[in-house]
Amino acid sequence: MRGVGRYGTAGLELVVGMGIGFFGGRWLDQRFGGGHGYFVIGGVIFGLVAGFRNLFRAAKNMQKDLEREESEAFPYEREYLAQVENGKKADKAEADKAENESKSDEQAGS
């Protein structure tokens, strides 16, 4: 829940990056490009790339934070799950052993 403030602006950063690219490109077009719009297109593309880069970086950091928070919130969960899994393996091994014994008894009786 702490990440809401930290990551809540990720979408806004994308829009702001595009806006800065657009207005920067428009200014460069008026100053150097003769009004053809090449700098505007380049600026918007640059803003999109920068915005998506920040968005993906925020998503990756958010995933790491969620994993860290889950491991801190449930410190014994991993140990418990390992015990449950070991219990299932032991139960399966016993069932397999019993099945093999019954098969050998059947073969011995035949």
- Is the pTM higher than 0.85? no
pLDDT for the residue 45: 93
CB 51 within 8 A of CB 18: yes
Q: Give a yes or no: residue 3 inside a domain.
A: no
pLDDT in tens, 6-35: 777 878 888 888 899 999 999 988 888 777
Euclidean distance between CA atoms 74 and 65, whole angstroms? 14
Q: How many domains does the chain have?
A: 1
Query: What pLDDT is recorded for position 72?
Result: 73
> Containing domain of residue 27, as a range?
9-109
Q: Residue 42: inside a domain, yes or no?
A: yes
Own/partner pairs for 29-38, CB < 8 Å, 24+ apart?
A: none
Q: Is residue 4 part of a domain?
A: no
Q: Where are the alpha helices (DSSP H) in the chain?
A: 3-7, 10-28, 38-73, 77-109
> Which is higher by pLDDT, 33 or 84?
84
Model confidence pLDDT, tens digit, residues 54-79: 888 888 988 888 888 777 766 676 67
Q: Is 2 part of any domain?
A: no
